[in-house]
Amino acid sequence: MDFSLVQRVYLFFVEAALVTAQLSALAFLLGLLVAALVAAARMSDVAALRFAGAAYVSVFRGTPCLIQLFILYFGGPQIGINLEPFAAGVIGLGLNIAAYMAEGMRGAILSVDRGQTEASRSIGFGRWQTMQRVVLPQAARLMIRPLGVNTVALVKGTALVSTISVIELTYTAQRFIGSTYRPFEIFGIAALLYMVMVYGVARMVDVLDRRYAID
Amino acid sequence: MQGLDFSVVLPYADILWIGVWWTVVLTVSASLLSFFGGILFALVVLYAPTVFAYPVRLFMWLFMGTPLLLQLFLIYFGLVQIGIDIPALAAGIVGLGLHFAVYNADIFRAGIVAIDSGQAEAARSIGFGRWQTLRYIVVPQAVRNTALPVGGNMISLLKESSIVSVIGITELVHAAQLAISETYRPFEFYLVAAALYYVLNLVLEFGLRRVERRVEMSR
């Protein structure tokens, strides 16, 4: 191990890790928003919306995230969509993770006992009120675990955007592996920073899940 | 902005088929590696002496906390720099296989622990050795009970195999890139590649459902 190398390059990696963190956070927020819409569409009364929601999930989960990013970033200009690498990364990752999150949300909502809805309707709550005041508060707790798993996967998935030249952690590691000829030190720095984020998020999910668990 | 024209894809059908073929080869061989590697890791973590179990646990922890892409760079570009030159295809299979072996090991470990201890006790009391008990009694049941999540990992593996395009294996994504470098039509080729992945995914899901039904019946 050559630690003077670590000292020389670590600032580049900290900066790159911040980009990875930003990508993760923004894609997470976009993912939550789109997932809520898709889950709502999948559970709607309108058949066309249900179909559109199901198609969204099937297409985004049935094809690689890498290809989705390439279509958006390299193919986009052909249909008039010109995005900066970072923006394309956030949108591509967000739309991809939304498909997985939507299924987690739907699963949580469906696993709230039907009797809750029936009871709420029978005492005069409307459909929206029932959803908002009775079902969702209970479903929200059940969503923590699946959405948490998706988010951990998302943090690792951000590495993909190095292929559309976003200068994040994996891109930086690749560049320094090529120029320093010290693959294991470079991998070590990048791995350490990833693990801080990945296991940090995983720990947060555990704490939240335990705090709001239904016992 | 140019219009879309999918007729450009047809002359490149051959190279795309080669891509599909290598994606299948990669997925099948890496899946096999991840399956047996997963069982091996799970057994080492559970039963081997600490000197062996601890490094495997460290390895699993390291591979679960970092992206596959970074691991591929380490295996392919990293090992060359310390004098271990492995061909891209081998690096791709090993990288994908190890990455998912770690996830499978976690599932198998939970599956093995969940097998009633009476099973092992009964096997030992009728004269099975420790290894025989694992080999014929415990592991087969654990594998059967975990068919669903391990199958899910295989579906992920098929999609993640697209990532090995970065080390120059001509699987589906790289095949599309070769065609794009001649035609400058990324949208059409990547969309067709996505459609091909979608079909491969359907085929794999169909196959896994059949395996799962078999497993259900044998229980």
Report the chain A residue with the minimal C-alpha distance to residue B191: A71
Q: Assign B2 a pLDDT band (cuts: 50, 70, 90).
A: low
Is residue B38 a contact partner of residue B107, using CB atoms and an 8 Å limit?
A: yes
In angstroms, the CA A199 to CA A205 distance is 10
Confidence of residue B133 (pLDDT cuts 50, 70, 90): very high
Give the architecture (CATH level 2) of B6-218. Orthogonal Bundle (1.10)
pLDDT band of A5, cuts 50, 70, 90:
confident
Res A2 pLDDT > 80 = no
In this predicted structure, what is the pLDDT of residue A180?
Answer: 83
The CA angle A9-A15-A19, to the nearest 5 degrees, is 140
So what's the pLDDT on residue A59? 96
Q: Where are the domains of chain B?
A: 6-218
Q: What would the mean pLDDT of B166-187 be, rounded to a whole number?
A: 92
**Tokens coding A66:** 């890498």
Do B69 and A160 make contact, defined as CB atoms within 8 angstroms?
yes
Confidence of residue A181 (pLDDT cuts 50, 70, 90): confident
Which residues of B touch chain A, with CB atoms under 8 Å apart?
1-2, 4, 61-62, 64-70, 73-74, 77-79, 81-82, 159-163, 165-166, 173, 180, 185-188, 190-191, 193-194, 197-198, 201-202
Burial group, residue A136, by CB count within 10 angstroms (0-12, 13-18, 19+): middle
- Predicted local confidence at residue B219, as pLDDT: 66
Q: Which residues of B touch A194 (CB under 8 A)?
A: 65-67, 70
- What's the number of domains chain A is made of? 1
To the nearest 10°, report the CA torsion of A40, A43, A45, A51.
Answer: 90
At A76-99, the pLDDT tens digits run 999 999 999 999 999 999 999 999
Mean pLDDT (chain B, rounded)? 92
A191–B68 CB contact, under 8 Å: no
Interface test with B, best of A73, A78, A163 (most B CBs within 10 A): A78
Instruction: Dump the DSSP string for B117-144.
Output: HHHHHHHHHTT--HHHIIIIIIHHHHHH
Instruction: Residue A197: give its domain's CATH number.
Output: 1.10.3720.10
Q: Tell me A71's DSSP state.
A: I
Asked if A149 is an interface residue toward chain B (Cβ–Cβ < 8 A), one would say no
Convert the pLDDT of each residue in A114-143 to its tens digit. 888 889 989 988 888 898 888 999 999 999
Establish, for the pair of chains A and B, how many residue pairs have beta carbons separated by less than 8 Å.
123
Minimal CA–CA distance to B171: which of B83, B101, B72? Answer: B72
- Measured between alpha carbons, how far is A98 from A39 in angstroms, rounded to an integer? 9
What's residue A7's pLDDT? Answer: 81
Q: Which domain holds residue A103?
A: 3-211
What's the mean per-residue pLDDT of chain A? 92
User: Which value does ipTM take for this structure?
Assistant: 0.90
Residues 56-95 of A with CB under 8 A from B: 59, 62-68, 70-71, 74-80
- The burial class, CB within 10 Å (0-12 / 13-18 / 19+), for B174 is buried
Nearest to A164 by CA among A68, A77, A73: A73
Question: What pLDDT, on the 0 to 100 scale, is given for residue A159?
Answer: 95
The confidence score (pLDDT) of residue A1 equals 62
Is the confidence at residue B161, as pLDDT, over 60?
Answer: yes
Residue A188 — very low, low, confident or very high, per pLDDT cuts 50/70/90? confident
* pLDDT for residue B163: 95
